[in-house]
Amino acid sequence: MPTRTARTAWTGGLQDGSGQVELSSSGVGKYDVSFPKRSADSADGTTSPEELIAAAHSSCYAMALSAEIGRAGGTPQALDVTADVTLGPDPAGGFRIANIKLTVVGRAEGIDADGFLAAANAAKAGCPVSKALAGVDTIELAASFDS
């Protein structure tokens, strides 16, 4: 199996520093990062580890759900997946990922709403990124079947 690589170049301290994260394996881009913007309500043109985790989780989950629908005898037609990743204080000090919410609206042939919900829950448990994020206290799932 392949290994994928990202690289971050950082200068300065936590509050006054900044950096760029580069998606090295794909070469699709470099993105600005800074802690003040990471912890602000507005990203203001920068990304963050949480946004990158959200991208990884939503895309991994969509792939896992597509596979689970197929295993259930259905054919996925469309999946719209959003991952919301929340940074919060860590009671032990510092910060942690406090919550992740996956929201999916899906359309599939050959299964009903109950089959879709079962596939959605199986995908949440089986998605490699969900497994990697097992230390997060809460990973919520809101699944809607669009028949």
Burial of 62 (C-beta count, 10 Å sphere; 0-12/13-18/19+): buried
Question: Is residue 67 assigned to a domain?
Answer: yes
Rounded Cα distance, 145 and 52, in Å: 26
Rounded Cα distance, 35 and 17, in Å = 8
In a domain, 2, yes or no: no
Asked whether 92 and 142 are in contact (CB, 8 A), the reply is no
Residue 44 lies in a domain: no
| Residue 147 clears pLDDT 80, i.e. is over it | no
Q: Do 67 and 111 sit in the same domain of this protein?
A: yes
pTM value is 0.93
Range of the domain at 14: 7-39
pLDDT tens for each residue of 13-56 = 999 999 999 999 999 999 999 999 998 888 889 999 999 999 99
